[in-house]
Amino acid sequence: MVNVAVLGYGTVGSGIVEVIKTNQELINKRVGDELNIKYVLDLREFPGDIIENILVHDYDVILNDPEVNIVAEAMGGVEPAYTFAKKAIESGKNFCTSNKELVAKHGPELVELAKKNSVNFLFEASVGGGIPIIRPINESLTPDDVVEVVGILNGTTNYILTKMAKEGSDFDTVLRRAQELGYAEKNPEADVEGYDACRKIAILASLVTGKYVDFEDITTEGITKITDVDFKYAAVLGLSIKIFGKFKVKDGKYFAQVCPVMIDKSHPLYSVEDVKNGILVRGNMVGDVMFYGSGAGKLPTASAVVSDIIEEARHLNETINIIWSDEKLNLSDIKDSECRFFVRVKNTDKDAIEGNFGEVEFINLGEIDDEIGFITRSMSEETFAQIAEKMDNIITRIRVEG
């Protein structure tokens, strides 16, 4: 028998229990042994729930029980998750988590600690919810030099942008609806400002390079400045507005960024809508590989955690090799990266625009008298910033991919 302790009985934690109970027979076959949930840790009481008799409030009960083989964390936040992870690993227990904050901040340390203690620290559910992405990078794509990872990594922001595009609604209206539906938190800052996607692309960039990409070094821009007017221009152009987490290797330089982008129908992520996530990985041998599915939600995320539990149950006496050192990867300044820009300016004329930006593609929206929209030629972020600094009439700008 393989005994598991689940930390936290919220959305994901209760989902872990549900997945295991629902698919118990199938999971036992895939483990090659009986998988048993011995404890659930939570500060609350759950009278009448199926976990009532295995509920504990003191982590030491789990830590001091030698029969517990695997600890699955679904609490969120850096603390006490970090302390719990260290103690479990040091006591010889395998640990897995859906916690991207924990993984982004302490991933390399916990991976190394697990190796020293001949156990595993796995985190499939920390990026992409139910989408398998961590294990494919660690196992299936190992022959390749991964030169680019780009993804729609947050279901909340993708839902908001999708509804703004389809319904012509403004940001605040769609955000309120997302909160009512449970897609957005009461405080949605981590999602709408891009911080959630930033941590996720930092984890993916770390795994493809084997070094530590500090999420605090990644230039991050959210979607709060995107308006319904931007979508009117996008519709005329046949483009879609998304928010990407991006990591790219070019000419020996490493770039990482989270920002809104405009993409056309030829882009593999163009049709990823609503709360779905999509991740494109580009290897120098395999080419483009696409991962698509539910990037959040109770059962999809819980399914990914249980996949880690199964993997750890299969490797109780050996450490799965994950290459992630604490050596920091030095990211290049994003000012050196290049793209085209969609720009809206007010109270000006086309001659003034071309005098600053050179040749541009003007967009005829036909319904706004006091502004002009256009797309620039490809230029560096630094060049754009220098031009923009000379102008005081720019309403907005969005990067254009492809």
In angstroms, rounded to a whole number, what is the distance separating the alpha carbons of residues 224 and 221?
9
Catalytic residue among 100, 105, 163, 200: 200
CA 261/CA 342 separation, integer angstroms: 9
Round to the nearest angstrom and report the end-to-end CA distance of the chain.
52
Q: Compute the half-sphere exposure of residue 270: CA atoms within 13 Å on the CB side of its CA.
A: 13
The C-alpha atoms of residue 86 and residue 80 are separated, in whole angstroms, by 10
What three-state secondary structure class fits 140?
helix
Total residue count of the chain as it appears in this document = 402
Percent helix, strand, coil in the chain (nearest 5)?
40, 25, 35
Query: Would residue 200 show up in a list of annotated catalytic residues for this protein?
Result: yes
Contacts with 313 (C-beta within 8 Å, 6 or more apart), sequence order: 2, 31, 33, 35, 69, 70
Structure tokens that stand for 146 in this block: 């991964």
CB distance 277 to 129 below 8 Å? yes
Catalytic machinery residues:
200
